Amino acid sequence: MFQGASAINLDAKGRMSIPAKHRDALSIQCEGRLTLTRHPDGCVMLFPRPVWEQHRQQISSWPMQARAWQRIFLGYATDVEMDTAGRILISPELRAAVGLDKEVMMMGMGSHFEIWDAAKMAEKEALAMEAGTPDVLANFSF
């Protein structure tokens, strides 16, 4: 179960260091084999390869009416492996598609991670706070 936020800088080649707190778990869970793809909300999703393979099978079986969504999820999917320094390369096409520049946030989302442009994520969070709590969370409390 992945959780927590990490502020990370992409290097000039588009490489990102996986935070140490997640690196060991990913090495054990999937031997550092990961898959990146585009999320329509404007971020990159990072999956351990076995988790992605389950999603890929499901997405591949969608009907023709969902072809555009298949292109978003499958068309941008890229298999990567952590290097010996714990870094991954985010392709230029994927970085351009979601607007990743230098400063990014990596958010643990349970079974996977989201990688956001830091400024874009701050804007989305501010808009969510302004909009207030959605009805679906009306009975939720800590």
Q: What is the pLDDT of residues 97-126, one digit of tens each?
A: 999 999 999 999 999 999 999 999 999 999
Classify residue 134 by its DSSP letter.
-
Let me know if 47 is exposed, middle or buried by CB neighbors in 10 A (0-12, 13-18, 19+).
Answer: buried
First to last CA, the chain: 19
Give CA angle at 31 (30, 36), nearest 5°.
60
- Mean pLDDT across the stretch 86-99? 96
Q: According to the CATH classification, is domain 2-134 in 3.40.1550.20? A: yes
Please give the model's pTM, rounded to 2 decimal places. Answer: 0.92
Pairing of strands 103-110, 2-9: antiparallel
Let me know if 27 is exposed, middle or buried by CB neighbors in 10 A (0-12, 13-18, 19+).
Answer: middle
CB 17 within 8 A of CB 84: no
Q: How confident is residue 68, by pLDDT bands cut at 50, 70 and 90?
A: very high
Domain ranges, ordered by start, for the chain: 2-134
Q: What is the pLDDT of residues 73-88, one digit of tens each?
A: 999 999 999 999 999 9
- Mean pLDDT across the stretch 35-55? 97
